[in-house]
Amino acid sequence: MAIAAWTLLLALIAWRSGAEVEAQVPGPRTRYQPNWASLDQRPLPQWYDEAKVGIFLHYGVYSVPSFGSEWFWTNWKNLRNPDYIRFMQRNYKPDFTYQEFADQFTAELFNATQWALLFRDSGARYVVLTSKHHDGFTLWPSKSSFGWNSVDVGPKRDIIKELAAAVRKESDLKFGLYYSLFEWFNPLWTDDKLHLLMQQHFVERKVRPEQMELVEQYLPEIIWSDGDWEAPAKYWRSEEFIAWLYNDSPVRDTVVTNDRWGFGTACMHGDFYNCADRFNPGILQAHKWENAFTLDRKSWGQRFDVSLSDFMTSKEVIKEIVTTVSCNGNVLINVGPTKYGTILPIFEERLRDMGRWLKTNGEAIYGSVPWIYQNDTVTPNVWYTQRQNSSNGNVTVYAFVLEYPYDTNELDIYPLGKEINIFRNVLLTGIDLGTGGEILNHQSTQVVMLGMEDTKINWTSDHNRLHIEFPPKHHIDKRGLDFAWAFKITIT
């Protein structure tokens, strides 16, 4: 289908108008009502849209058995999974309880500064730590979780306090907290369920006090809610809590929330949408969203029953970043630390590879917005982002090549689409596409390979086709450019 230039213009205008609205940070006098109709009007704080890359940390008592997944307790006791039963029979005494794992959750090698420096070097712009998972164990001395927190038992340390302080001291990363609304075996929760959720004792005595504690003590700028699916948002009183976050909390101007606040809220309400674990639709999403995925494909928590094939490669991680950001998303990349408080070398390697790649290609990721096309309509494995130079009206399009053209060292891409009809004197973001000649020409277009800025890129154009010759491969390899290769196309 042929696409007229004015169609592209309208698409960009519509996109940018929406982006500008979302970029506005609400003023301190803005008041939101405790209902979704009002809460959904809050603009997304700009920092989150620009950050693009975050680190997720699943750390807790489940790190002790390091088997199966972070759902160890319920898989063992509720679902009676044979693998978990067999694991416990072979390795622990018959009457061993999950609570006894807490004494072995020692974290004796936990060094918050080392973690913070690794996350800084990874190129991430924010980090989210599990404050409490579905087992109810908290990584801070919760007043509502006596004897089942990281200060009373196990590490005897306030993990959240130490990591928040280190992240803020050693980096510019934003600090956020994951919080599970429900707990598998909490008697207050199970009693509320027995009463068909007509009472809210669990919310009143456990959930709300802990949520308030976390925000007021640790000032998280992301509240990553989870464990919502067994009850509606009205039971959790989610709208009331979010209204307080936006109106009166100490982080009201910068905090962002996800969409897991009760069944039926996913992909519907929240500053950004998660929709599902490892959500990556591959097409443009109008509302800001996040792709939370695990480096270990099968588990969010650290486990030892793992093989090399279970881990994402660095190339796969970069592909997730590119395809997600191209479609208006952020990535939240999960790491599971060990019970000792260390991060395994394979996780560190992936994060450092990511940091090296982002150091070269970050300008095409951070602060970018989706281009008219998210991926090339002709050549596979080519994805786009863009940014506009507001001072001179230039448009910069970034083309990410996810598969290197080894056979030819050359590539055809179509950043303006496969077919485009040009009408005289129609402007695309200030670029005159209709004055005759080629759309992409050497007078109006510059092509640079990120990481090879001092090397002239040979290219030709034919109407809307851009034929690019890569520099010699050994020159690219010498610069350490790997995983995906980005070309910066500036049109004046």
The secondary structure of residue 340, as a DSSP letter, is T
Query: What sign results for the dihedral spanned by CA atoms 132, 138, 140, 146?
Result: positive
The pLDDT score that the predictor gives to residue 4 is 40
pLDDT (0 to 100) of residue 427: 41
Whether 446 and 490 have beta carbons less than 8 Å apart is answered as yes
| Contact (Cβ atoms closer than 8 angstroms) between residue 162 and residue 169 | no
The whole-angstrom separation of Cα 22 and Cα 271 is 10
**Residue type at position 318:** I
pLDDT of residue 436: 46
| Cβ pair 138, 152 in contact under 8 A | no
CA dihedral angle for residue 451, residue 118, residue 161, residue 135, rounded to 10 degrees: 110
What are the pLDDT digits (tens) for 251-310?
999 999 999 999 999 999 999 999 999 999 999 999 999 999 999 999 999 999 999 999
Name the pTM for this structure.
0.91
pLDDT confidence of residue 171: 97
Rounded Cα–Cα distance for residues 95 and 142 (Å): 28
398 has which bridge partners?
385, 488
pLDDT in tens, the chain (492 residues): 333 433 443 344 344 444 444 444 544 568 999 999 999 999 999 999 999 999 999 999 999 999 999 999 999 999 999 999 999 999 999 999 999 999 999 999 999 999 999 999 999 999 999 999 999 999 999 999 999 999 999 999 999 999 999 999 999 999 999 999 999 999 999 999 999 999 999 999 999 999 999 999 999 999 999 999 999 999 999 999 999 999 999 999 999 999 999 999 999 999 999 999 999 999 999 999 999 999 999 999 999 999 999 999 999 999 999 999 999 999 999 999 999 999 999 999 999 999 999 999 999 999 999 999 999 989 999 999 998 665 677 889 999 999 999 999 999 999 988 765 544 334 444 444 444 456 788 888 999 999 999 999 999 998 889 999 999 999 999 999 999 999 999 988
Helix (H) or strand (E) holding 445: strand 445-449
- pLDDT for 24 equals 47
Identify the pLDDT of residue 444.
85
How confident is the model at residue 38, as a pLDDT?
97
What per-residue confidence (pLDDT) applies to 237? 98
Backbone region of residue 278 per phi and psi (left: phi > 0; alpha: psi in -120 to 50; beta: other values) = left
Which stretches does DSSP call E strand in 63-208? 126-132, 174-180
Find out whether 107 and 154 touch, Cβ atoms under 8 Å.
yes
Q: How far apart are CA 441 and CA 455, in angstroms?
A: 19
CB atoms closer than 10 angstroms to residue 7: 16
pLDDT for the residue 361: 98
What are the tokens at 264?
A: 């039926």
The rounded radius of gyration (Å) of the Cα atoms in the chain is: 25
CA dihedral 346, 347, 353, 354 (to 10 degrees): 160
How far, in Å, are 63, 107, 115, 185 from residue 154 at the CA level? 12, 8, 20, 20
